Amino acid sequence: MNTVTSGAVSERDQPVDRALVACHECDLLQHERAVPPGGALRCCRCRAVLYRRRGRGFDRALAYACAACVLWVISNAFPIVGLAVNGDLVETTLIGAVRMLYRDGMWPLAALIFVTTILMPALQALGMVWLLLPLHLNRTPWRADAVFRMLRIARDWGMTEVLMLGLLVAVVKLAHIASVVTGPALWSLAALMLLLVAAASAFDERAMWMRIEGALPGVPADTPIRGRTAAPSGICVCHECGLCTRGTHRHAHLHCPRCGARLHLRKPASLSRTWAYLIAAAVLYIPANTLPVMNTSSLFGAQKDTIMSGVAYLWHSGSWPLAIIVFIASIAVPMLKILAIGYLAASANLRMTRRSALRARIYRIVELVGRWSMLDIYVIAVLVALVQFSAMATIEAGPAAIAFGAVVVLTMFAAMSFDPRLIWDAEDPREVPR
């Protein structure tokens, strides 16, 4: 991929034809530069991606999104996997697994799985069709601003790729119990995952707004500036669509004129909310790993399994690659994420000025890997839905499953609440918004 570095701006810079842009991670003001097809524009200070130019056009993204809508219907209408024991066949769909958890009283877990595996992928595919189909017909999408914001949320919380890995782990575990029968929805889910990734990679959000507006409004290059960053000049960068807008002061209730998202020089009460989510996640991490995550009843008695005992089972059964993956995703990643966010929040509280670039990279890694902790939740959902053979064997979700799901959600909220611009504010206290 071709990478272009933007040009930094100082108070002595002469006006140029290119518009000013502000980095959404470090707030540095920069001059926009041309990006070749398939390339990316990166911040010259923190190396965050400011803009990716997709070179494939809207038609391909629209085709992928339409195909994803069809596959979503198949993935939720047909069984994913089945379990055959002594002539009895038990099959489950995604909605069937959600219904089983709700019936057992695990409604928080059922709601989490429904949102991340059924609702959000549907909104992601339908959102792209809603925006791209009118553009294909040379028309303007109705309420493009609201649909665009919804699409951004769906991308953050849709976890089809994690679900597929969870299904793989569940199939390996079930293979030691009985014969596993794969259903058509398993293959359509795999195709749905690939199509959603392909549609997102071909969807150029910036080009879409250019088609809708006819031009890209923003902050002109000759705008008076008071420092290296956007905040001293009252310039707000939208975290949803990237548009820079002039604001008057920190407490103004400003909205992006393009997508309607709330604008702020810094996220309100960022560190307070981050610490609140983080402390709650750290407290729940203990019962999530000590209490039973699954309760198994069979002819041979009852057994309570923790997350670590599940890892040990995979290891001793010969599936050591999956055991390593489950250990990393379900035990190591949540703990490291709590420590990483705590380090970022503490460094911002102490106004550390060293290793800002390293802390910025840590923040991006935390955002990238956080969703993979949902792996064990999906494994539990499939096992609970399938292992229901009355007196022979049944599996129910344990109390640790709810605690673990809460840890995953809380750490994701903590990462979303943290404002990465606080990492760089200590380098020049004069430019911090008051």
Instruction: Output the DSSP codes for 128-192.
Output: HHHHHHHHHTT-PPTTHHHHHHHHHHHHHH--HHHHHHHHHHHHHHHHTTSEEEE-HHHHHHHHH
In a domain, 33, yes or no: no
Q: Which amino acid is at 157?
A: W
Tell me which residue of 368, 259, 400, 378 sits closest to 326, measured CA to CA. 378
Mean pLDDT on 52-79: 89
In a domain, 233, yes or no: no
> Measuring CA to CA, how many Å separate 326 from each of 42, 167, 301, 366, 408?
34, 12, 26, 18, 14
What pLDDT score was predicted for residue 15?
35
In a domain, 154, yes or no: yes
What residues have CB less than 8 Å from 234, skipping those under 6 apart? Answer: 246, 247, 248, 249, 265
Sheet holding 294-298, edge to edge: 301-305, 294-298, 393-397
The DSSP output letter for 255 is E
In a domain, 394, yes or no: no
pLDDT at 7 over 90: no
Query: What is the distance between the alpha carbons of residues 66 and 193, in angstroms, rounded to a whole number?
Result: 13
What pLDDT score was predicted for residue 294?
81
Instruction: State which H helix or E strand residue 246 sits in.
Output: strand 244-246
- What token pair was written down for 286? 């203990």
Give 202-260 pLDDT, tens digit per residue: 888 888 888 887 655 556 555 666 667 888 877 888 888 888 887 654 545 678 888 88
pLDDT band at 2 (very low <50, low <70, confident <90, very high): low
What pLDDT score was predicted for residue 234?
79
Tell me which residue of 303, 360, 305 sits closest to 330, measured CA to CA. 305
What is the CB neighbour count within 10 angstroms for residue 86? 7
What pLDDT score was predicted for residue 255?
83
How much is the pTM? 0.86
Query: What is the distance between the alpha carbons of residues 390 and 10, in angstroms, rounded to a whole number?
Result: 72
Tell me which residue of 153, 147, 167 sits closest to 116, measured CA to CA. 153
How would you classify residue 171: left for phi > 0, otherwise alpha for psi between -120 and 50, otherwise beta?
A: alpha
pLDDT band at 17 (very low <50, low <70, confident <90, very high): very low
pLDDT at 150 over 80: yes
Angle subtended by helix axes 107-114 and 94-103, to nearest 10: 160
What pLDDT score was predicted for residue 190?
92
Tell me which residue of 292, 236, 233 sits closest to 266, measured CA to CA. 236
Long-range CB pairs of 240-246, under 8 A, 24+ apart, other chains included: 240/148, 240/149, 240/152, 241/148, 241/205, 241/209, 242/21, 242/24, 242/50, 242/51, 242/206, 243/209, 243/216, 243/217, 243/218, 244/19, 244/20, 244/21, 244/22, 244/218, 244/219, 245/218, 245/219, 246/219
Give 129-144 pLDDT, tens digit per residue: 999 999 989 888 999 9
> Which residues span the domain enclosing 204?
58-92+114-214
Count of domains in the chain?
Answer: 1
pLDDT at 91 over 90: no
pLDDT band at 41 (very low <50, low <70, confident <90, very high): confident
Query: What is the distance between the alpha carbons of residues 95 and 356, in angstroms, rounded to a whole number?
Result: 45
% of the chain at pLDDT higher than 70: 85
Query: What is the distance between the alpha carbons of residues 376 and 400, in angstroms, rounded to a whole number?
Result: 11
115-129, 197-211, 374-388: least confidently modelled range: 374-388
pLDDT band at 430 (very low <50, low <70, confident <90, very high): low
What is the CB neighbour count within 10 angstroms for residue 228? 21
In a domain, 15, yes or no: no
Tell me which residue of 203, 56, 205 sits closest to 125, measured CA to CA. 203
- What token pair was written down for 420? 């990465």
Query: What is the distance between the alpha carbons of residues 143 and 399, in angstroms, rounded to a whole number?
Result: 42
In a domain, 246, yes or no: no
- What token pair was written down for 307? 């997350």
In a domain, 86, yes or no: yes
Mean pLDDT on 189-199: 93
What pLDDT score was predicted for residue 235?
82
- What token pair was written down for 350? 């102490």
Query: What is the distance between the alpha carbons of residues 146 and 148, in angstroms, rounded to a whole number?
Result: 5
Mean pLDDT on 327-356: 90
Q: Which amino acid is at 13?
A: D
In a domain, 326, yes or no: no
pLDDT at 61 over 60: yes
DSSP E strand stretches across 338-403: 393-397
